[in-house]
Amino acid sequence: MNYFTGIDLGGTSAKIGLVDPQGRVLDSTVQKIDATAGFAEIAGAISDALGKLVKGQRGRRPAAIGIGSPGFVDAESGILIGGAENIPCLRGKSLTRFLEDEFRVPVSADNDATCAAAGELKFGSGRHFQDFVLLTIGTGIGGGLVQNGKVYRGSRGFAAEMGHMCVSPRGRWCNCGSQGCLEQYASAPAIQRLYLEKRRKRGLLAGGTNADVREIFKLAEKKKDTCAVDTVEEAALYIAQALGILINVLNPQACILGGGVSQAGETLLGPVRRSITDFSWPTMREGVEVLAAELANNAGLLGAAAGAMDRYGDEV
Supply the minimum distance, in Å, between the C-beta of residue 157 and a copy of itself. 7
Quick one: 221 or 234, whose CB is closer to a copy of itself? 234
Tell me the C-alpha distance between 224 and 236, whole Å: 18
* Cα four-point dihedral sign 274, 293, 180, 216: positive
Beta-bridged to residue 137, according to DSSP, are 141
Q: By C-beta, is 10 or 82 nearer to a copy of itself?
A: 82
Closest CA to 3 of 74, 75, 57: 57
223 Rama sector, left if φ>0, alpha if ψ -120 to 50, beta otherwise: left
Task: Residue 255: name the closest of 146, 181, 151 by CA.
Answer: 146
CA distance 141 to 258: 10
> Residue 13: helix, strand or coil by DSSP?
strand
Between 164 and 199, name the residue whose CB sits nearer to a copy of itself. 164
State the Cα–Cα distance between residues 292 and 125, nearest whole angstrom.
7
From the CB of 106, what's the least distance to a copy of itself, in Å? 19
Shortest distance, CB of residue 169 to a copy of itself, whole angstroms?
A: 6
CB of 138 to a copy of itself, least distance (A): 18
Closer by beta carbon to a copy of itself, 12 or else 277: 277
**Which residues sit at the interface with a copy of itself, rule CB under 8 A?**
72, 81-83, 130-131, 143, 145, 147, 152-162, 164-169, 176-179, 241, 244-246, 248-253, 278-284
Task: Please report how close the Cβ of residue 132 comes to a copy of itself at its closest, in angstroms.
Answer: 9
Q: Helix (H, G, I), strand (E, B), or coil: what is residue 21?
A: coil
Contact 82, 91 (CB under 8 A): yes
| Closer Cβ to a copy of itself, 164 or 198, answer by number | 164
For the bound state, the minimum distance from the C-beta of residue 262 to a copy of itself, rounded and expressed in Å, comes to: 19
Q: Least distance (Å) from a copy of itself to the CB of residue 49?
A: 30
Nearer to a copy of itself, 74 or 314 (CB): 74
228 CB neighbour count, 10 Å cutoff: 25
Judge residue 187's burial from the number of C-beta atoms within 10 Å of its C-beta, 0-12 exposed, 13-18 middle, 19 or more buried. Answer: buried
